[in-house]
Amino acid sequence: MFFLALVVSGLLAGAVYALIALSFVVIYRSSRMINFAAGEWVTVGSLMTATGLHVLSLGLAASIALACAGMIALAWGFSELVLRRLAGRSLISMIMITLGLGALMRGSAAMVFKGVPGTISLPVPEEPLLVLGLIVPLDKLTAAAIAAACIAVVHWFHQSCRTGLALRAISGDQALAAAMGIDVQRHFTFVWAMAAVIAVIAGVLWTSVAGGGFGSALVGLKIFPIVIIGGLDSIRGTIAGAMIVGVLESLTTGYVDTLLGGGFGTIASSLVLIGMLFARPYGLFGRANTKRV
């Protein structure tokens, strides 16, 4: 029963991990840009929501809408004022600019949101749900269900909507997509705005089940094992990688931490990451880079 409880807890956490990682994947999938500021996006999104709740006395839905508007504005400004001017630059330049963005967001948020309580609570009963003898916290179950619904919507969007099809074309060949009349830069701006909205929802869910504050930026470190294990450009892989990391962390925390000390859950996912890089560097569902010669 203890083992099953740990697995269920890991799966519920994995659903939220998957949504956080999705904000990373949607950017990489279309633009092949690695956003190392993903954790900071989640943190700022949750802090904007907390500001609406605790400072402006808005309801949760209105606070989330306000945070989404603020993060979309931030995404638009970053895309138009920074990324547009870096078109055609090397990959290392794009990586460094996201690292700089993350540092800027951490420093600015510490001043802008100083004194704002970082707590966010979902409107669910505090009494846990008892299922076949397992105690399941309703806040974690609700957060996992919302995360799964958001992931399903994003997957449907990429597979069925006209804009999603355009993003898939851009992902395959930017030059060819532009030649076919697709406005690549406008779609890049849209992708960053989408990632901003995902980051807000993911930040709210993570804060509601794990606590808020600037410590939530550390959850961004969990993204990289997830996306490498699953595949950088795969939504299915993101889900699989998040579930693997969530269950692995839960099991090692429950069994191994009592023997080796706390914190081994994070180390375990890093060890799996290293193993995956050796065995299958493009991930479980990722596409290997192939060139015709």
Closest CA to 206 of 7, 23, 1, 6: 23
Total residues belonging to the chain: 293
Closest CA to 187 of 172, 208, 204, 207: 172
Q: What gap in Å lies between CA 44 and CA 196, rounded to an integer?
A: 10
Count of beta carbons in the 10 Å neighbourhood of residue 111: 7
Phi, psi of 142 (to 5 degrees): -65, -45
Which residues on neighbouring strands pair with residue 54, listed in sequence order? none
Q: Retrieve residue 111's tokens.
A: 């001043």
Percent of the chain at pLDDT exceeding 90: 18
Nearest 5 degrees, angle CA 47-CA 53-CA 54?
85
Max mean pLDDT range (97-111, 135-149, 206-220) = 135-149
Residue 289's pLDDT band (cuts 50, 70, 90): low
User: Is residue 155 one of the residues assigned to a domain?
Assistant: yes
Q: What gap in Å lies between CA 233 and CA 251, rounded to an integer?
A: 27
Q: Where are the alpha helices (DSSP H) in the chain?
A: 2-31, 38-54, 60-81, 91-112, 138-160, 162-172, 174-179, 184-210, 223-230, 235-251, 257-260, 264-279
Q: What gap in Å lies between CA 121 and CA 92, rounded to an integer?
A: 39
User: Is residue 246 one of the residues assigned to a domain?
Assistant: no
Residue 105's pLDDT band (cuts 50, 70, 90): confident
DSSP state of 255: I
pLDDT at 87: 67
DSSP element (H, E) containing 150: helix 138-160
pLDDT at 48: 93
Closest CA to 196 of 53, 1, 2, 48: 48
DSSP state of 208: H
pLDDT in tens, 171-211: 878 888 888 888 888 888 899 999 999 999 998 998 888 86
Q: Retrieve residue 44's tokens.
A: 């700022």
User: Is residue 217 one of the residues assigned to a domain?
Assistant: yes
User: Is residue 84 one of the residues assigned to a domain?
Assistant: yes
Q: What gap in Å lies between CA 62 and CA 271, rounded to an integer?
A: 41
Q: 242: Cβ–Cβ under 8 A, 6 or more apart, which residues?
A: 14, 15, 17, 18, 21, 226, 230
User: Is residue 137 one of the residues assigned to a domain?
Assistant: yes
**Span 38-63, mean pLDDT?**
90
Max mean pLDDT range (3-7, 52-56, 217-221, 270-274) = 52-56
pLDDT in tens, 221-270: 778 888 888 887 788 888 888 899 889 888 888 888 777 766 677 788 88
Phi, psi of 136 (to 5 degrees): -115, 115
Contact 171, 29 (CB under 8 A): yes
pLDDT at 288: 64
Say which residue, 134 or 77, is predicted with more confidence. Answer: 77
User: Is residue 182 one of the residues assigned to a domain?
Assistant: yes
Lowest mean pLDDT among 85-94, 169-178, 267-276: 85-94
Nearest 5 degrees, angle CA 266-CA 272-CA 274?
105
Q: Count up the domains in the chain and report the number.
A: 1
Residue 215: pLDDT over 60: no
pLDDT in tens, 138-179: 888 999 999 999 999 998 998 888 888 888 888 878 888 888
- Phi-psi category of 211—alpha, beta or left, where left has phi over 0 and alpha has psi -120 to 50? left
Q: What gap in Å lies between CA 183 and CA 283, rounded to an integer?
A: 30
User: Is residue 126 one of the residues assigned to a domain?
Assistant: yes
Residue 290's pLDDT band (cuts 50, 70, 90): low
User: Is residue 52 one of the residues assigned to a domain?
Assistant: yes
Domain carrying residue 71: 15-223
